Amino acid sequence: MISVSNVSMRYGAKILFEDVTTAFLPERRYGLTGPNGAGKSTFMKLLSGELEPQKGTVVRPKKLGILRQDQFAFDKFRVVDTVIMGNLPLWKALAEREELYAKAELTDEDGMRLGELEGVVSEEDGYTAESDAAVLLDGLDIEEPFHNRLMGEMQGGQKVRVLLAQALFGNPAALLLDEPTNYLDLESIHWLQNFLTHYSGTLITISHDRHFLNSVTTHTADIDYQTIITYTGGYDDMVLQKTQVRSRIESENAQREKKIAQLNEFIARFSAGTRASQVTSRKKEVERLETKELARSNIARPFIRFDQKRPSGRNAFEFKDVTKGYPGLPVIKNFSASVQRGEKIALMGRNGAGKTTLLKALLANAPGVDSKDVGIDSGLVTWGHEVQVGYFAQDHREEIPGGTTISDWLHNFDPQAAREEIRGLLGQMLFTGEEGMKKTEALSGGEAARMMFCKIMLQKPNILVFDEPTNHLDLEAINALNIALQKFEGTVLLVTHDEDLVDEVANRVWYFDHGKVQDFAGTYEEFTSTVAK
């Protein structure tokens, strides 16, 4: 169990949470929710001991599994050793035992110490440590040939998965996972979901993946109103309960205010007359009924809407024998397809299977795309009549120049737009007040993503090509994007690991598997049921 008592944290005048007292119980899995900036990661650091609360206390179990965020801290260690470090007492015992065995001669004291260390190794399941670590790594798509490599040789996404295996290793009494699905493909996410639903300790996770939260969590601890309120159920259950509670309180307040108005009218009418006792009674009733001001929620919902200047022709685009790869590494080979206006295609498969590679190949001569990082080895791509493409690249930060402001950069994409229109668009995407004058080089990941959506909304394209658009968005923004893509009447190519987004938007699937692409006409649910058969 993890418990917090009277915990408070604030930065300057901003209060994140005040006098929070709550407990996270064994055999329960908690989603920690709240918009960007609400204090989720700060609270997680308090629970792990990385930060001390400004006020209050935190009690945590001895063995705690934590998803480390520093990808470079273990570069000198083997992958399998990095995982075993998730059980620090075991790792220290193994390291000390190895040092003792490396001695030319052992003293009696060394022999006694070795006996103690063997006891620790046995108690902590150290004799199966490497095989247990291998099971975790295999489940997270880190194959056996990589297990003995140094972490410094691994790519960023691979490092994240190794660090996730580290957090899960050794059966800790509690798990603290901050964005565990980042850089995971859907198959790895499904493996993680299954692992966590069978985990018997206390789980606390932050995630912007609604489907993951609904699948894994039994409770939701929501940071809002400068406190933390725990609800029973997953994310969707929390939203429903929270809305119902808020609506009930607002309705009760409205009834109280109506009654107070009636009482005040009586008091005003008879305060100078002979009904003094009744007036006094009603004044006391007004004091009893006085409504408290509802705390303001910190949830902010962007409004995303993708319009088209004009629709494309019926045949949006087609391509024949498209081949794309890298030196010594063929990725896409002789893939052909035709895409009709209004089709919404999800590109799916394991990380590294070629989804982004295909997008970059198709965009080589796309109208409206001036990205440098696109191209094709061979094949032919033909775009339809009146096509205009809006492109959200996975590495979109490279497309945003420094030395300008958000407002000025956006104005380049529609010089005819009035400054008020740009300001209104920025307001829709939660850039309030003078934030439109913020320098582009100072943008956070979430701000850069929202600015890219502003750009695309200004361009009004009829084909949207989105490569991992949810990576830096909070749940409210992802839900807004989901609705916008469902309502968009044009054509969509979408790479995402957000299962709800795929399930609710796509009506066609391109599934990448070992160099081949399966073209399935139907929804993701229909595709998975077909594959299962």
**Which CATH number characterizes residue 490's domain?**
3.40.50.300
What's the maximum distance between 2 C-alpha atoms anywhere in the chain?
A: 107
The span from the CA of 231 to the CA of 239, in Å, is 9
The answer to the question of residue 308 being in a domain is no
C-beta separation of 43 from 228 below 8 A: yes
The answer to the question of residue 364 being in a domain is yes
Confidence bin at 295 (pLDDT 50/70/90) = low
The answer to the question of residue 68 being in a domain is yes
The answer to whether residue 303 scores a pLDDT higher than 60 is yes
284 in the same domain as 186:
no
C-beta separation of 341 from 315 below 8 A: yes
The span from the CA of 395 to the CA of 495, in Å, is 13
The answer to whether residue 279 scores a pLDDT higher than 80 is no
129 in the same domain as 255:
no
Percentage with pLDDT > 90 across the chain? 50
Q: Closest by alpha carbon to 311, among 409, 387, 244, 367?
A: 387
pLDDT for 444: 84
Tokens of 47: 């629970």
197 in the same domain as 75:
yes
Q: One-letter amino acid identity for 181?
A: T
Confidence bin at 284 (pLDDT 50/70/90) = confident
Element (H, E) at 494: strand 491-495
Q: 3-state class of 233 per DSSP? A: coil
164 in the same domain as 102:
yes
The answer to the question of residue 374 being in a domain is yes
Report CA Rg, the chain. 28
C-beta separation of 502 from 346 below 8 A: yes
Number of domains in the chain: 3
HEC readout, 3-52 = EEEEEEEEECCEEEEEEEEEEECCCCEEEEECCCCCCHHHHHHHHHCCCC
The answer to the question of residue 30 being in a domain is yes
The answer to the question of residue 355 being in a domain is yes
Dump pLDDT digits (tens) for 168-199: 998 889 999 988 888 788 888 888 899 899 98
The span from the CA of 250 to the CA of 308, in Å, is 39
Q: 3-state class of 293 per DSSP? A: coil
The span from the CA of 400 to the CA of 448, in Å, is 8
Residue finishing a domain among 213, 234, 255? 234
The answer to the question of residue 106 being in a domain is yes
328 in the same domain as 210:
no
Residue 246 lies in domain: 239-289
Element (H, E) at 237: helix 235-270
* pTM of the full structure: 0.77
C-beta separation of 425 from 351 below 8 A: no
Beta bridge partners of residue 531, listed in sequence order: none
The span from the CA of 102 to the CA of 100, in Å, is 5
Dump pLDDT digits (tens) for 72-94: 889 999 999 999 999 988 999 99
